[in-house]
Amino acid sequence: MWYRNWLAEIARATLTALAAAIALGAAMPAGAEVETALVTGGTVKGTIAEGLSVFKGIPFAAPPVGELRWKRPQPVHRWPGVRSAAAFAPSCMQAMDMLKIFGAPEDISEDCLYLNVWTPAKSPRQRLPVMVWITGGGFSLGSTNLPLYDGKNLAKRGVVLVSIAYRVGPLGFMAHPALTREGGGSSGNYGLADQIAGLKWVRANVAHFGGDPANVTIFGESAGGISVSMLAASPAAKGLFQKAISESGGNFGPVRVNETDGGLSMRSLSGAESQGSALLQELGAADIKAARALPAAAIQKLAGPMGRFWPTVDGRLIAGDQYDLYRAKRFNDTPLLIGSNSDEGSLFMPPKVTPDELVAAIRAGYGQKADAVISAYPHATEAEARQALANVFRETAFAWPTWTWSRLHSSQGQGAVYVYYFDQKTPRDPNGSNHGDEMRFVFGNHVQPFGPPTPREQELTAQFMGYWTNFAKTGDPNGPGLPAWPRFTSANAEVMALGDRTGAIDQPNLAPLQVFDDYYAWRRELAGRK
């Protein structure tokens, strides 16, 4: 009799799948855009515009509120009927004043785990390459609904574009001893877990939008690029993507031992737990239960707008020092496209820096290597001192991690590595490309404060978008009509200049990068002794 029950179960499952397929087929005539899709949780209906199907605000996890605050993302709640996917969801909790600067809607919520899809597919059967965008913002800011991140221009080049929201600030990255006990030995990194949950959603659902779940490229800028770096070394992200692009991001410094250590951001789990315990004390919360009962806005306000919380070496999502993980070949080996900008440290500088202030700042953070760092840059005048401090920030936050990542990946992995250096001098940025300046070219959205593109910038936009989408399609940015981009190898360590000129060049700023190579080796030695 057992086989009759088994056959009955098969019949029921088959009829259910057939009914769903018929429903979708009836809603999508042959040759029409993909207007509805059956995804995890139910059916969603998008909008059709400019030959694309656009779906906004699709939930990929349960709202992380109440008892789910400071927990890994949980399965999405099912919904009845057809859910409208015509509008963006609110941004995750963060400083509203900062969002306004970037033109985002003034709508924030703790219920924010939603994603968006732009697809040019005319049928779910097309299997187009997929690009998954991870926003930046120092792990304290970030939203998928910025005009800069509109995915239509990339999608028009034959890719399915997905953008994923993730928790930021204290709600996304706070660790605490009680949370570590709840989490079976780790805590923090909830925002990174959100990204992984989003990628799992893509693997399970993107085929319904004409995307190929076996051809996924993750890409991000700043904290999004750092996230890409972390996912590239995370066992929990293995198999969820086949290519990776990081703009101005990398995570290859050792764990911070002291708060004053220069050029380091990563904390150990115990260090992050201490930070979380201090926040609860400031909040007047006796324990995690009390903290979960507080309004999200109160926690956000006390934590401040920027820089207080960051991903943690939790032993699970981030298994250890990424430099050591790569040397041990413990990473997700895929083709890689990474780079940095020529003057991106300037965005983070005060208006004025004196030579004495520069020297004092470097001595406070760089210990016995401070003299070598100071000597690497001219700093006799206030203008030189400010630029020197900006370049120290450029090197430690963006250029050295990118250079190190390219060397480690090309020597330890099989995936091809392509490296760029963006350098465009404009009246707005006379010393070169500032942090994030490449994004308007990558997305083809020349929004405020940049204004309409010049003819050269239109050409540069076509180059960026062509390189990025070619890489997503094939793992190689090269293609018809584009200047040749050489592969970065130990024997041929060339990078691709983009901006005022386009072409292969030697690694820029090599001398100061080598100074920081020595500095980080020393810091790694100190961290190992701790």
- Work out the pLDDT band at 220, boundaries 50, 70, 90: very high
Q: What is the mean pLDDT of residues 454-467?
A: 97
Residues 12 and 48 in one domain: no
Centroid of chain to Cα 412: 23
The mean of the pLDDT values for the chain is 92
| Structure tokens, 77 | 């709640």
Residues 495 and 415 in one domain: yes
Residues 108 and 12 in one domain: no
Q: Which is catalytic among the residues 35, 221, 273, 344?
A: 344
Question: How many domains does the chain contain in total?
Answer: 3
Q: What pTM was computed for the model?
A: 0.93
Residues 160 and 74 in one domain: yes
3-state secondary structure of 489: coil
Residues 498 and 360 in one domain: yes
Q: Does the pLDDT at position 323 exceed 70? A: yes
Q: What is the mean pLDDT of residues 76-95?
A: 96
Quote the pLDDT of residue 165: 98
| Number of residues written out for the chain | 530
- List, for residues 300-313, the tens digit of each pLDDT value: 999 888 768 999 99
Distance CA 369, CA 162 (A): 43
Q: Which is catalytic among the residues 176, 346, 435, 457?
A: 435
Quote the pLDDT of residue 530: 57
Residues 22 and 136 in one domain: no
Residues 67 and 157 in one domain: yes
Quote the pLDDT of residue 529: 65
Residue 64's Cβ-side half-sphere holds a number of Cα atoms within 13 Å equal to: 27
Q: What is the DSSP string of 45-56?
A: E-EEETTEEEEE
Quote the pLDDT of residue 13: 35
Quote the pLDDT of residue 450: 81
Centroid of chain to Cα 152: 19
Q: Which is catalytic among the residues 187, 222, 234, 246?
A: 222
**Weakest mean pLDDT among 35-39, 124-128, 331-335, 524-528:** 524-528
Residue 504's Cβ-side half-sphere holds a number of Cα atoms within 13 Å equal to: 11
Taken in order 152, 153, 159, 163, is the CA torsion positive or negative? negative
Q: Which amino acid is at 374?
A: I
Give the long-range contacts of residues 457-461, CB within 8 A, separation 24 or more. 460/424, 460/498, 460/499, 460/502
332: in domain: no
337: in domain: no
Quote the pLDDT of residue 3: 30
Taken in order 228, 234, 235, 237, is the CA torsion positive or negative? negative
- Work out the pLDDT band at 10, boundaries 50, 70, 90: very low
Query: Furthest-apart CA pair in the chain: how many Å?
Result: 90
Residues 148 and 113 in one domain: yes
- List, for residues 152-191, the tens digit of each pLDDT value: 999 999 999 999 999 999 999 999 999 999 999 999 999 9
Q: Does the pLDDT at position 4 exceed 60? A: no
Residues 12 and 51 in one domain: no
- Work out the pLDDT band at 5, boundaries 50, 70, 90: very low
| Structure tokens, 321 | 């020092």
76: in domain: yes
Q: Is 176 a catalytic residue?
A: no
Indicate which CATH number applies to the domain containing 298.
Answer: 3.40.50.1820
233: in domain: no
Residues 302 and 373 in one domain: no
3-state secondary structure of 94: coil
Quote the pLDDT of residue 306: 77
Residues 389 and 529 in one domain: yes
Residue 28's Cβ-side half-sphere holds a number of Cα atoms within 13 Å equal to: 29
Helix, strand, coil: what percent of the chain each, to 5? 40, 15, 40
Q: Is 379 a catalytic residue?
A: no
323: in domain: no
Smallest Cα–Cα separation from 117: which of 29, 46, 194? Answer: 46
Quote the pLDDT of residue 97: 80
Q: Which amino acid is at 205?
A: N
| Structure tokens, 384 | 């030189």
Q: What is the mean pLDDT of residues 353-378?
A: 98
Quote the pLDDT of residue 11: 38
Residues 525 and 386 in one domain: yes
Whether omega for the bond prior to residue 449 falls within 30 degrees of 0, making it cis, is: yes
Q: Does the pLDDT at position 18 exceed 70? A: no
Q: In which domain, by residue range, is 454 found?
A: 342-530
- Work out the pLDDT band at 468, boundaries 50, 70, 90: very high
- List, for residues 520-529, the tens digit of each pLDDT value: 999 999 988 6
160: in domain: yes
Q: Does the pLDDT at position 22 exceed 80? A: no
- List, for residues 433-449, the tens digit of each pLDDT value: 999 999 999 999 998 77
Residue 264 CB partners (closer than 8 Å, separation 6+): 253, 254, 255, 256, 523
Residue 51 CB partners (closer than 8 Å, separation 6+): 33, 120, 156
Centroid of chain to Cα 319: 18
Residue 341 β-bridge partners: 422
Q: Is 344 a catalytic residue?
A: yes
85: in domain: yes
Cα distances (Å, whole numbers) of residue 23 to 168, 174, 271:
38, 44, 53
Q: Alpha helices of 156-217 — where are they, by DSSP H?
A: 169-173, 177-182, 190-205
The residue written with tokens 């660790």 in the block is 175
Distance CA 234, CA 243 (A): 14
Smallest Cα–Cα separation from 207: which of 132, 335, 87, 121? Answer: 121
Smallest Cα–Cα separation from 316: which of 491, 412, 452, 192? Answer: 192
In the sheet that 243-247 helps form, which strands lie side by side, from edge to edge?
47-49, 52-59, 114-119, 160-164, 128-134, 211-221, 243-247, 336-341, 417-423, 494-499, 503-506
- List, for residues 382-420, the tens digit of each pLDDT value: 999 999 999 999 999 999 999 999 999 999 999 999 999
294: in domain: yes
Q: Which amino acid is at 222?
A: S
- The percent of residues in the chain predicted with pLDDT above 90, rounded, is 87
Q: Does the pLDDT at position 297 exceed 50? A: yes
